[in-house]
Each structure stands twice: as structure tokens, then as C-alpha cells.
Amino acid sequence: MKMQDLNGKVAVVTGASSGIGEAAARLLVQEGVHVVLAARRRERLDVLAAELGSFATVVETDVSDRGQVQALFDLVKDRFGGLDLLFNNAGLGINAKFEDSDPDDWKKMIDVNLYGVLNCTQAAIPLLRGRAGAMICSVSSVGGRYGVENWSVYSATKFAVGGFHDALRKELGPERIRVSVIEPGAVWTEFGQNVSEAMKERRQQLEALTSENIAQAMIYAFAQPANVLVEEILLRPVLQVAP
């Protein structure tokens, strides 16, 4: 089975300023993809774009802001005429026992993890039509499959992402737009607020995955022949036998 040649394709990567998004941008550029780097931290994006050269375009974007998201995809349309990959990677997790959690934090997670995905996906769909092998790929979590203690609201947002993609796959499949979800377990990234030292130690004990591991999974799904859908990838360290 011959994999797709990704050279010349166009991708939008959200949350591209660090972690999985940054790793994904690097791997995509290595494949000859022009990557539109979207995140809130402009200075980090500029540093990455300087490294990637002419294959990178920076658009400072808060995915929870519909106006900023529309401006991002308007730029993609004007500059490239279409889109081959939307990688919904931007995410926010705040660690807390639910009873003690702050409703303001609930809203922050819902705005980024759910509304961010909805905003970007809706704006991207018209640009994906008619592009062979076009794909929407979103980062969920093992917490979106099983629920994880002290990550209750975060887990709820990721369950919602899974359900959204299940429905969207049925809507867009007839148009040959592929819809994929990646569900990582323990990963070494900047991700997560209020993360305890015990949890950091657990990541070390589990030999947590790297951002590159997750980015490689996305590349694997994207590079499949245009008629092949990799619907879901759940990956975690071999030592992580439970969520």
C-alpha cells in the first residue's frame, strides 16, 4: 500500500507554540507540508517559524475566539486556496478534585478544548472540500475514553470531542473528508495546570511518551491513502496499564 506524498499540502496546527503542536509542525515540514502555526504565544511561534523557514506561516490565534479563528482561515483561503489538514491540538487541563474545582476553570477548559475544536472545524470544512486525502485530526485523551481522577471536567470536554467526531465522521465521510482522533496517555509536555509533584513523578515512572510520539501518530494517519481512514489512535506508555 503506497502512502500519500504529503509534499505541497497545507496544514493548520493549533497549539503550535509548544509540545505536540510544535513537534507536529516540525514533522509536517519535513514531509514538505506548508504549516500555518496558530497559537496565542506569538513570540514562541516566531521562533519556531524562523527555524522552519518558508514552509511556516504564523497567525497568532486564540481558538476560543470565533473572530480570530475566522481571520485565521480567511488567511489560509486567500494565501493557499484550500486546506489539506486541520490538526486541532490546542488544549487546556486544570488538575483539581471536582468538589474543590473552580467554575471559572471549567469555562476555560470548555472554551479551549470544546469550543476551540468546534470553531476551527466549522471554519475549516469549506477549505477541505475537494482536496484528496483531506483530514481533520483532533487531540483528545485517554481521559476522553475512561475518565481520570482529578481531571473530571477536562475528561468531560474530551468525551465531548470524541462524540463530536463520531457524528462529524458520518457527515463528512460521503465528501471524502477524513475525521480522526488521537487519544494520548501520559506525555511529557507543558500541558496541565496545578499538576502535583506526585503526578510528575508518575509520568517519569511510566516512561511517558514524547510530543514527537504523538505527532508521528498524526503523520501516520494523514499519510494513509486518501481512501483510508484511521478513525482513532489511542496510545500510551507500555507501562501505563490503566488510565
The residues carrying an active-site annotation are 154
Q: What's the maximum distance between 2 C-alpha atoms anywhere in the chain? A: 52
CB atoms within 10 A of CB 64: 21
Give every CB contact of residue 181 below 8 A, 6+ residues apart in sequence: 137, 138, 139, 140, 161, 162, 165, 231, 232, 233
Report the candidate in 181, 183, 173, 186 with the shortest Cα–Cα distance to residue 226.
173
User: Which cell goes with 122?
Assistant: 466549522
Let me know: does 128 contact 83? Beta carbons within 8 Å. Answer: yes
Report the candidate in 113, 193, 123, 191 with the shortest Cα–Cα distance to residue 156.
113
CB atoms within 10 A of CB 99: 6
